[in-house]
Amino acid sequence: MVNNTTLEHDIYLFHQGNLRYSYKLLGAHPDTQDGEQGIRFAVWAPNAKQVSVVGDFNQWDGREHPMERFNDNGIWMTFIPNLDQGTIYKYEILTPHGHLRLKADPYAFSSELRPETASVVHPLDNYTWSDDEWMRERKAKNPYESPMSIYEIHLGSWKYIEPEVFYNFREYAEWVIPYVKNLGYTHIELLPIMEHPFDRSWGYQITGYYSVTARYGSPDDFKYFVDQCHQNGLGVILDWVPGHFCKDEHGLRRFDGEALYEYENPSKAEKTQWGTLTFDFGRNEVQSFLTSNAIYWLKEYHLDGLRVDAVASMLYLDFGKEEGEWELNEYGGRENLEAVEFIKKMNEAIFEEIPDTLMMAEESTSWPLVSAPTYIGGLGFNYKWNMGWMNDMLKYIEMDPIHRKYHHNLITFSLMYAYSENFVLPISHDEVVHGKKSLLNKMPGDYWQKFANLRAFLAYMYAHPGKKLLFMGGEFGQFDEWKDLEDLDWELLDYDSHNNTLNYVKQLHQLYRDTPALWELDHKEEGFFWIDPNNYEQSIVSFARNSRTSNDQLIVVCNFTPQVYHDYKVGVPKHGSYKEIFSSDAEQYGGSGQTNGLPLHTIPEPWQGQDQHITMTIPPLGVSFLKRTSVSKEENHEK
């Protein structure tokens, strides 16, 4: 039974935009009143003339269970005895215009399987977690100085029973987790699994923000998936979409007959390019709804972070709009000032509630300080997707190698701003769909060169400062672009080139996770320095990655042409012997085998700004990782 004092306080906070757990106030909750067990329903509908709870239990007759208006700000409540988990329901709303509307519960924790649209009662406390060790270790972990390699996955097209018929979260746990763990990833990132009506929106156009999609099972099934990930050492990040919602009639659109969750002004509300509506970020109750929603997924589902979709569409009033379709803000600018303030407020609340979480912004512009704290003027995320690096590198790698020397800046420019944010390097689903071609098929050249280019690209990505993200299929060289209505082409693993690529990604991850220089100082300038960024004629770059321990320094040499170079001079900062500890051109990965098997001893002659150099074989379309394994006689003598 709800305490009235607590109830009134929560309602006050809700209307102030400061209720961080509004899903405990609103929605459908098991309760006991006057000794009877049943369900307590609460919904915010300030413009409604009347609201009723309807379902099979009352033959969908709104006269049977009308709700009472609790306060003047539009919260309606009722208690219905003898209802239990699994009850199917909607709200019947009489609008100010005298129309009856059937709406799904904005705070429902479960929903019917599409095409059905009703909400389903589901308690929050059904599941018993077994990930205490993971959650404890997470609190003690510094993500900025830890390896982070993310496998982005759309469950329904990773593997399915048949088109539009999917496996359960528990079955996906059985297959996905061992696969991703074996490859050496640290995290799984799921495309949105909130309830959505249309499969091909991939979950980015949502009707049930608090509801796990019934496509893959129940809320408890999803908790099991996350729990199993944690028990197997994998973090889970979920795509989250606070920027817009779809217009389906049973959803949030004009929920009580008027614009409620969306802006009243069409120039601010309409996302014309997506056919969706923008949340009214200036409305306090919407702020409570969205902030609580983020906290809900992080708290109730033990998620390790949220990747926030389309942040730029929230920040800019003119995003995706033509001239005349938007209006300047009060200061004559194009920024959505309400959205900016909401984002800051939301992130502050989230990190106060869950300090050890990840909030990653997909922000595609040069908005400053996205991943900086709000107290120094930042937006308050702790990571930002590096869309600039992604666009430059894909543009570069798609070129015929003969033309790459004319665009050498595309592989070096990212280091000009690499430390302006805490970056994730993303090769996501958006880059391999809708005619953009798969990652492998973006690569120029013949069959061998495509795979060599892919290996070189991935090696450079893992050597570059920043955390990593790769969309499913890229790990074994899917030839076709992402087919969202089909599952991955697993039969390709019967072919050596694809199986070798899968093994390559596994070994690349092993190198990455075992080498602190590749992640410990990702976000600090002392973690990287160029040896030679200027050899555009041969499309070769070389650089060093540092860790906090000087002996862990790694030298990386990248060749983006199919030319082999023998006795190539590379400046190195320390004398001694260097060993090639990894080569993307090794025969076991399908390469040509132009590797450096013997120790590379330094020659005490300056080169490329270093006091000494080595000579080595530079593989075609290859990347070599070198590590100093012994000191020279002179250094031993000095000691």
Of the candidates 291, 260, 290, 292, the one whose C-alpha atom is nearest the C-alpha of residue 277 is 260
Residue 319: both structure tokens together:
């995003």
Tell me the residue type at 393: M
Buried b (16+ CB within 10 A) or exposed e, 170-192: bbbbeebbebbbebbbbbbbbbb
Q: What H or E segment, with its residue span, contains residue 418?
A: none
State the catalytic residue, choosing from 112, 262, 270, 309.
309
| 164 noted as active-site residue | no
State the catalytic residue, choosing from 220, 221, 362, 522.
362
Q: What H or E segment, with its residue span, contains residue 376?
A: none
Tell me the residue type at 584: S
Instruction: Please check whether residue 326 is in contact with residue 301, taking contact to mean a CB–CB distance below 8 angstroms.
Output: no
Q: What angle do CA 184, 189, 193 make, to 5 degrees?
A: 145
| 325 noted as active-site residue | no
C-alpha 419/C-alpha 323 separation (Å) is 35
Instruction: Please check whether residue 38 is in contact with residue 81, taking contact to mean a CB–CB distance below 8 angstroms.
Output: yes
Give 280's Cβ-side CA count (13 Å radius): 18
The DSSP result for 171-204, as a single string, is: HHHHHHHHHHHHHT-SEEEEPP-EE-S-GGGTTS
Measuring CA to CA, how many Å separate 297 from each of 124, 317, 449, 502, 516?
A: 11, 28, 43, 32, 31
- Strand 622-630 and strand 528-535: the pairing is unpaired
3-class DSSP assignment, residue 305: strand
Instruction: Please check whether residue 399 is in contact with residue 410, taking contact to mean a CB–CB distance below 8 angstroms.
Output: no
Instruction: Please check whether residue 441 is in contact with residue 481, taking contact to mean a CB–CB distance below 8 angstroms.
Output: yes
- Where does residue 230 rank: exposed (0-12), middle (13-18), buried (19+ CB within 10 A)? buried
C-alpha 424/C-alpha 416 separation (Å) is 16
How far does Cα 304 stand from its chain's mean position? Answer: 11
User: Looking at 328-483, which runs of residues are DSSP E strands?
Assistant: 358-361, 383-385, 423-427, 467-471
- Order of strands, edge to edge, in the sheet holding 75-81? 27-33, 36-44, 75-81, 68-69
The one-character DSSP state at 413 is G
C-alpha 285/C-alpha 18 separation (Å) is 8
CB-based contacts of 274: which residues, under 8 Å, 6+ apart? 205, 244, 320
**Catalytic residue annotation:** 309, 362
